[in-house]
Structure 1
Amino acid sequence: MGQRTTSRRAAALRKAREAKAARDTERLTRERQIEAALADFFEFSGRAEQIRQEAGHRAKKILDYAEREARQADIEAGEAVRALRKLDQTNAEIAELCGLSVPVVRAMANSIPGDDPGDDPGDQTGELSGDTADGHDGEAHAEQQADAGAARVLAPSRQPATDGGSDAHAGASWGQFR
């Protein structure tokens, strides 16, 4: 009886090993598939990030170039606003006609062509009383310069407005005055 038990036990162990071997093969195949999928994920997500970074660098170069090119148009737009002021149009009238806010009109009208918009308006020198070299009253000129500085802060950015306000296109066109 002992020999039959031993041979039965050996047969049972063989069957168990065969079943386990099939399961181990399936498990190993699955682990390799998981590893391959993870490798694909890391490879392609890294590639996507690289593509986005390269596109961002190219977009920045394009925007920098466009900004440099747009400066002349901004200067000429400011000259047009100053021409409207010389035709006795008020800031409010000009703002309405151009679809701008009054602070942006003030900034454009008071800007000096070729001025760097990043300059501190307080750095400009001038008399606070009496007439300035261009014949304007010094106090009024100082007030206009303060308005120009405030308009640079208050002017809309170059990003399109989400509320659809009248200055939505003004921010894109009058980038010099942000």
Structure 2
Amino acid sequence: MSEFTHFNDQGRAKMVDISKKDVTVRTALAKSSIQVTKEVYEKITKHEIGKGDVLSVAQVAGIMAAKQTANVIPMCHPIPIKGVNIDFTWYVEEDTYTLLISVTVKTKGSTGVEMEALTSASITALTVYDMCKAVDKGMVIGPTYLEEKTGGKSGDFFRKA
């Protein structure tokens, strides 16, 4: 079972000991998206959703999610997050309205922030869904994926196009 780092000698879950890993600057960029109808797009962009400013609330939710990742992903270490940035870009083509979500998380520590970035991107998209579901429950979330990560023992990762 040595290839699985999150299992002990009895085959049960454990949190990996990172006490001997170097402290380095680590970043992660995760992306997600949510496809909405024209009506939802217009209501978001015109600030006509009854629950409030969708993108502002989703941005705060995403930041909060990054900070709480260790509370919802069992084997994640609580880490000192140094920064979280969330960017939104609308992609509109014919009758397709997609909100692209990019989340960058940064720390200086002994373990990476990939899970924090992915959790943040997911919760950001889910928050958009929650705020707009009264208008349309057919929104589609995803894909959600790691675009890049830097720092740490395993080195840098950049998703191939």
Normalising by structure 1, what TM-score? 0.25
Q: Which has the higher helix share?
A: 1
Which of 1 and 2 has higher RCO (CA within 8 Å, sep 6+)? 2
Normalising by structure 2, what TM-score? 0.27
Q: Which has the higher strand share?
A: 2
User: Which one has a bigger Cα radius of gyration?
Assistant: 1
